[in-house]
Amino acid sequence: MNNSSLTFVLGGAKSGKSEFAEHLCSRNKRICYIATGVVKNPDGEMQLRIQRHKARRSNKWITREQYQHVDELINNSQQDGYLLDDAIMLVTNLFYDLVLEKTAPEKIDDYLESASSQEIATIRERILNNWKKILSAVRVSEQSMVIVSDEVGLGVVPATKQTRILRDLYGEANQLIAKEADSVYFVISGIAQKLK
C-alpha cells in the first residue's frame, strides 16, 4: 500500500476479495481495520465468520468495529493505513439507521413501500454524503486506505422496493468510490483483475 492512496477491491460473496485486500496491507505496519459489519445480535455462524476474519489479521493491526463517523476516525488518528471491510455493510447499516429515524423496526417494510421519491432521495443523499466525507478524509489525511465492497450489479432485478432501493444505493456508492480510487481490483474465484 503506497502513501496517500485509495484502493478499491470489489468482488462477489466468497470471491476472496477480503483476503486479497488484506494482502495489499503490510502486516508490519499499523493498519486500522474498520469492520463495518457491526452485528447487534450475532448468531453462532456469524460469530465464527468474524473470528476467522480476525485470525487472519496481523497482531500489529488494530480493529475498529464501526460504520458511523468513519471520517472522524480517519481525521483523528494517525495510522500507516486503513482497511475498510466492507462498503456494502456500511451502506446497509446507515440505511436502516436513517429509516429507523422515521419508523419502528416492525414497520420498516410498510414505511419503505409508501415512502415518497423525495424521502428516498433524502436517505440516498445522506448516505452518499457520508461516503464523500470518508473519501475526503482519506485525501486530507494523506493516509492510505483499502476499501472492500461487494459487486451487486450482476444479479437479477430484486423483487421488492426495499431491496431495489438498497441495490441502487450499493451501486451508486461503489461507483463513487471507484471514481475516486487510485486503483480498482475485481476479484473472481480468488483471482484479482486490475480494472484501474
| Cell, residue 125 | 443523499
pLDDT for res 111: 94
pLDDT for res 147: 98
d(CA 160, CA 109): 9
d(CA 22, CA 82): 10
pLDDT for res 54: 65
Q: Is 2 exposed, middle or buried (0-12, 13-18, 19+ CB in 10 A)?
A: exposed
> pLDDT (tens digit, 0 to 9) for every residue of the chain, 196 residues total?
446 799 999 999 889 999 999 999 988 888 999 999 876 666 767 667 666 666 676 678 899 999 999 999 999 988 889 999 999 999 999 999 999 999 999 999 999 999 999 999 999 999 999 999 999 999 998 889 999 999 988 878 888 899 999 999 999 999 999 999 999 999 999 999 999 9
pLDDT for res 13: 86
23 is catalytic: no
Give the chain's radius of gyration (CA, Å): 17
36, part of any domain: yes
183, part of any domain: yes
Domain of 143, CATH number, reads 3.40.50.300
Q: Residue count of the chain, please give it.
A: 196
| Structural domain total, the chain | 1
Terminal-to-terminal C-alpha distance of the chain:
15
Q: Give the count of beta carbons closer than 10 Å to the beta carbon of residue 164.
A: 13
130, part of any domain: yes
For 47, list phi and psi in degrees, rounded to 5: -60, -40
Which residue(s) pair with 35 in the sheet?
65, 85
Range of the domain at 109: 6-194
Closest C-alpha among 93, 80, 74 to residue 3: 80
Catalytic residue, chosen from 53, 64, 126, 161, is: 53
pLDDT for res 40: 63
1, part of any domain: no
SS3 assignment, position 105? helix
pLDDT for res 47: 67
d(CA 66, CA 64): 6
**Which residues lie closer than 8 Å to 1 by C-beta, 6 or more apart?**
7, 24, 25, 26, 81, 144, 146
CB 94 within 8 A of CB 38: no
